[in-house]
Amino acid sequence: MAIVLAFSGGLDTSFCVPYLIETYGEPVHTVTVNTGGLADGEADALAAKSRRLGAASHLTIDARRDLFDDHLSYLIKGNVLRGGVYPLCVGPERVVQARKVVEAARQLGARAVAHGSTGAGNDQVRFDVALRMLASDLDVLAPIRELGYSREQSSAYLAERGLPVPQKTTTYSINKGLWGTTIGGKETHTTDTPLPDEAYPDTVPPAAS
């Protein structure tokens, strides 16, 4: 049997690869579903990273057309903005990613699918609901949520195995997609401190421009 992991290459899913292998004693196959966040060369880098983490195989699926045709085109036409200001950029990505991960799991004959969502945000619900609807016969694993690990604990786990993660990845969770980029970190859990300029991956602060 095997486990198929939705793999972004960030801290949480990087932690999941060796943890799932050690915990379940089964091969872990990683799947990266590109919904617009991969720059040139990143797909190859993610495949190499997956191998270093111990994955049995890695698959990159280009789902940008699926995301736009099936979801974003309708949201844009309807001018759908949460609270009138927030593009619903992440939710549709998760639906498409879940669908492609399940397709890969079927091809590989996996008995479970896994994701790296924590217990803090909506991603856990998006992935869980989509995966259970699409593949009710497969187990759905969410190690980070189940363990309640902090980003520091996950980073330490990898470092102990000779698999360190860059500090910026440890500090912030960044999701790049076709319609937008979201950032999560300690400052987003409260309302008294803004994100520092260096947390933003694709912008230059006005003072430095």
- The predicted-structure confidence for 72-114, as pLDDT tens digits, reads as follows 999 999 999 989 888 888 889 999 999 999 999 999 999 999 9
* pTM of the predicted model over 0.85: yes
Q: Which residues are catalytic, by number?
A: 12, 94, 123, 173
Residues in CB range of 141: below 8 A, 6 or more apart: 3, 20, 112, 113, 114, 115
DSSP annotation of 94 reads H
pLDDT score of 188 more than 80:
no
Strand pairing class (173-176; 181-184): antiparallel
What whole-number distance in Å separates Cα of residue 6 and Cα of residue 76?
A: 26
DSSP 3-state assignment of 50?
Answer: helix
Nearest to 57 by CA among 28, 33, 84, 79: 28
Dihedral sign computed on CA atoms, order 32, 201, 150, 165: positive
Amino acid at 185: G
Q: Which two tokens stand for residue 198?
A: 């260096």
- The predicted-structure confidence for 142-151, as pLDDT tens digits, reads as follows 999 999 998 8
Question: CATH: 3.10.20.30, 3.40.50.2300, 3.40.50.300, 3.40.50.620. Which one for 3-208?
Answer: 3.40.50.620
Domains of the chain, residue spans? 3-208
DSSP 3-state assignment of 5?
Answer: strand
Higher model confidence: residue 197 or residue 64?
Answer: 64
- Percent of the chain whose predicted confidence (pLDDT) is above 90: 63
Q: Which two tokens stand for residue 165?
A: 């993660």
Cβ atoms of residues 131 and 101 within 8 Å: yes
Instruction: Note every long-range contact of 68-72, with CB atoms under 8 Å and residues 24 or more positions apart, other chains counting.
Output: 68/178, 70/96, 71/95, 71/96, 72/178, 72/179
Q: Rounded to whole angstroms, what are the CA distances from 7 to 27, 32, 40, 70, 186?
A: 14, 5, 18, 22, 23
Mean pLDDT across the stretch 179-201? 80
